[in-house]
Amino acid sequence: MKAPNREYTMTTARDTIVDALDIESFVLCESEKEAKELVGKLMQSLGLVRFVIVSLDFNGPGAHFRVRAYMNKPGDNYTWLKE
């Protein structure tokens, strides 16, 4: 399906994300609490402040996690509609 024929002023790939960005990885840590703190710090460092940890499984040397960062929520000023 093609996007409507409009001129977009998006300047970065990040601007083209319509709703959310999912990230999955493994962090080295000593506890589930530390893993949650590290994931929060990671998201902050990436400039992704609206996020939820979808899953976190602490096991052995660290934790496997999935996190969803919301780029645009209903009612936002959508990046693809900016002129």
pLDDT value at position 18?
A: 79
Is 65 exposed, middle or buried (CB count within 10 Å of its CB: 0-12, 13-18, 19+)?
A: buried
In the chain, the domains with their CATH numbers are: 19-73 (3.30.1660)
Which among 79, 54, 83, 82 has a CA at the least distance from the CA of 67?
Answer: 54
**pLDDT score at 4:** 54
β-bridge partners, 26: 64
pLDDT in tens, 4-25: 545 555 678 887 777 889 999 9
pLDDT in tens, 39-63: 999 999 999 999 999 999 999 999 9
